[in-house]
Structure 1
Amino acid sequence: MNATLIAVALSLVSAAAYAAAAVAQSRLAGRTEPSTGTLRLLGRGAWWSAVGLNAGGALLHVAALKYGPLTLVQPLGALTLVAAVPLGARAAGRRVSRTEWRGTVLTLLGLGALLLTSGGTAPHETLSLVEALGVGAATMAVVAGLSRPGTRPGLRHAAASGITSGVASALTQTLTVAVTDHTTGPLFSWRLLTVALLVSAFAMGGLLLSQTAYRGGLGAPLAVVTLANPVAAAAIGLALLGERLQGGAAGLVPALLGTAAAVRGVILLSRAQARPMAVTGEEAETAAGETVAGGAPVSGAPSRVVIGSPRQQDRQALATEPRALEPLTVRPSAS
């Protein structure tokens, strides 16, 4: 089978696994009291199911990086948002909104255009030790500038999270290709050990930075994280790994148009994902005749009207917190 088709197929399944994990953790958060400790979560099968889905998505993403270039695999991470739309709507007992449909169509059209212009050969080049150290130093300098002390949580931290996650994916590709293709050098070397340490540091850093970014709200930061990730990875692929767009200079036109469409689609999907979860029919029946209370903003989210008893209000408030959708950005790149 063609390497490009393998990479696309693995990326699709990876995105579906990440989306299913996000929805599972979101539902678990909605059923869990705020005072519930981590140890009690460890005893729940739903939590371990979400962990397994995230782990499966990560392994599939790493496998996709073996068969496809960064300019192909990383943008496909946006499909996690696309897959989360029907899954999240079904879990919330509602229909997919018009905004979500628009975001889905634009994202798919944009990614389709990018697929036509991205390089189609399996990656063979890897970063040297000097290049890996240079990429690591440059990334840390950029992140330090974006997340300097005193900076309010928000888009700067989201950009830093997306950049570190994208760099982690680029380094992961070097590690994967070097381990599976022995023509790139010895299996055990200072280069691979350094790259592995950088992957771990940047992957964890991306997660922590995203958690900080979401304190100021979810919609815009989620979009920035999703978009900064493939941009950072593609920049490394084009500058250091010999990746090229098909069609040369002429290929820039559909690539830019596809990027613009995908960006708009991701923004629409991120706004939709940031909205409060809908009240299911069962909860609405239970809440019938009860007082309608105005809800206070949660983690920077806009004010909303909450229907139901105090316990139901707590569940709805918890479901709208940013951490309910954080798994969307937990990727080896990652996503």
Structure 2
Amino acid sequence: MHLDLTDLAAELPIDPRQAIGIPLALIGAVFLSLGAQLQHRGVNKVEAKTTAASAGLNLRQLALLLARPSWVVGTLMLGLAVVFQLSSLAFAPLIVVQPLGAVALVITAILNARVSKVRLNRASIIAISMCVGGVGLFVTVAAFTAVDKPVTTENLITILIILAVMLVLVGGAFFFLRNKFKAIFYIIGAGVLYGFVATLAKVIINRIQHNNVDWLAVLCIIGLLAAAGLGGYFVQNAYSSGPPDLVIAGLTVVDPLVAVGIGIVVLGEASQAPAWAAVAFIIAGLIAIWGVFLLAKYHPQSE
């Protein structure tokens, strides 16, 4: 029986709009990788001229970063990565496009190995494969089971309350335990905060698309800026205590898992997914997270 294009589109499990969001997210991943490498170089050069940031980068070091061309160019590339990521969120569900940032991990690992002239060992390659494979499995299942839903006022209030709690917990941990922080702690903290940044960005885009901009949307913007600011500071500290591919590994795993967790639990983007999909999500998440910890332990440049 002959099917026209309309009938064929109806049979496809993936919304045609998602086909636009996926390549935009992949382009953003490339800029994320390049920006991370350049920012890492800038942080290392600043630290080489100042004291070590055992308790986090101080104000003088942050100011010196603005004078490093590599750091500034890297920041601009990260800005482009954000633009492409936000554009992808306008077309596809959060749990489809957010995990695609894992592509940046592979690019960053190759770039860092060439720049630092330090070859990755076998354990590191296995760890990276676990990160990318876990996230790849996650996004494959999500692409066939996720649906995009409008964000209700109750959803938004719930997200803002959770974010406020996380800001207090993460900020408090840094204030009291910063002298004991290593790269993995900064990476996890930044990944959690950036997961909320992606979620809030999706919420804002969704409300704008539905002409529903109110005081809650303003609070959403404030929360996004707070999470992005603290998360960005954590990333710079992670660069000072770990290689860029480890930083990207953490961000491209923790960030999407947090964002996707909110998308599933709060926004209901996987409400129509079958039971086997939930099992696949859990297995994929565990594989990816374990890969991050293995990379932190066995990476040749890890302290």
Normalising to structure 1: TM-score of the pair?
Answer: 0.67
Whole-angstrom distance in 1 between the partners of 2:236 and 2:222? 22
C-alpha deviations, 1:259-294, integer Å up to 9, x for none?
233223333444565607xxxxxxxxxxxxxxxxxx
C-alpha deviations, 1:234-262, integer Å up to 9, x for none?
22211221210774111123323322332
Question: Which residue number corresponds to residue 199 of structure 1?
Answer: 224
Whole-angstrom distance in 2 between the partners of 1:49 and 1:114? 32
Question: Which residue number corresponds to residue 108 of structure 2?
Answer: 84
Give the Å deviation of 1:30: 5.7
- Structure 2 residue corresponding to 1:169, chosen from 165, 188, 198: 198
- Preserved CA contact (<8 Å) 1:117 1:247: no
- Structure 1 residue corresponding to 2:281, chosen from 255, 280, 287: 255
Give the Å deviation of 1:62: 1.3
Does 2:192 align with 1:153? no
C-alpha deviations, 1:209-240, integer Å up to 9, x for none?
4456677x437x94665543223222221122
Does 2:292 align with 1:266? yes
Across the two proteins, how many residue pairs are aligned to each other?
272
Whole-angstrom distance in 1 between the partners of 2:126 and 2:42? 28
What amino acid is aligned across from residue 176 of structure 2 in structure 1? P
Whole-angstrom distance in 1 between the partners of 2:231 and 2:104? 17
Question: Which residue number corresponds to residue 190 of structure 1?
Answer: 215
3-state SS, counterpart of residue 49 of structure 2: coil
- Preserved CA contact (<8 Å) 2:130 2:291: yes
- Preserved CA contact (<8 Å) 1:117 1:246: no
Does 2:175 align with 1:138? no
- Structure 1 residue corresponding to 2:89, chosen from 56, 65, 68: 65
Residues 1:98 and 1:205: Cα distance change in structure 2 (over 3 Å): same
What amino acid is aligned across from residue 106 of structure 2 in structure 1? V
- Preserved CA contact (<8 Å) 1:21 1:50: yes
- Preserved CA contact (<8 Å) 1:62 1:173: yes
- Structure 2 residue corresponding to 1:56, chosen from 68, 80, 85: 80
Whole-angstrom distance in 2 between the partners of 1:91 and 1:171? 35
Structure with larger Rg: 1
Residues 1:122 and 1:62: Cα distance change in structure 2 (over 3 Å): farther
Whole-angstrom distance in 2 between the partners of 1:109 and 1:246? 24
3-state SS, counterpart of residue 90 of structure 2: helix
Residues 1:261 and 1:232: Cα distance change in structure 2 (over 3 Å): closer
Bigger drift between 149-158 and 65-74 goes to 149-158
- Preserved CA contact (<8 Å) 1:23 1:91: no
Query: Which structure shows the higher helix fraction?
Result: 2
Question: Which residue number corresponds to residue 295 of structure 1?
Answer: none
RMSD of Structure 2 on Structure 1 (CA): 3.5
Bigger drift between 34-43 and 84-93 goes to 34-43
Question: Which residue number corresponds to residue 26 of structure 2?
Answer: 12
- Preserved CA contact (<8 Å) 1:65 1:173: yes
Give the Å deviation of 1:200: 0.3
- Preserved CA contact (<8 Å) 2:138 2:284: yes
Residues 1:12 and 1:96: Cα distance change in structure 2 (over 3 Å): farther
Give the Å deviation of 1:24: 2.5
Bigger drift between 224-233 and 64-73 goes to 224-233
- Preserved CA contact (<8 Å) 2:38 2:74: yes
Whole-angstrom distance in 2 between the partners of 1:49 and 1:84? 16
What amino acid is aligned across from residue 114 of structure 2 in structure 1? R
| Gapped regions of structure 1 (runs ≥ 5) | 277-300, 302-335
Give the Å deviation of 1:194: 1.1
What amino acid is aligned across from residue 73 of structure 1 in structure 2? V
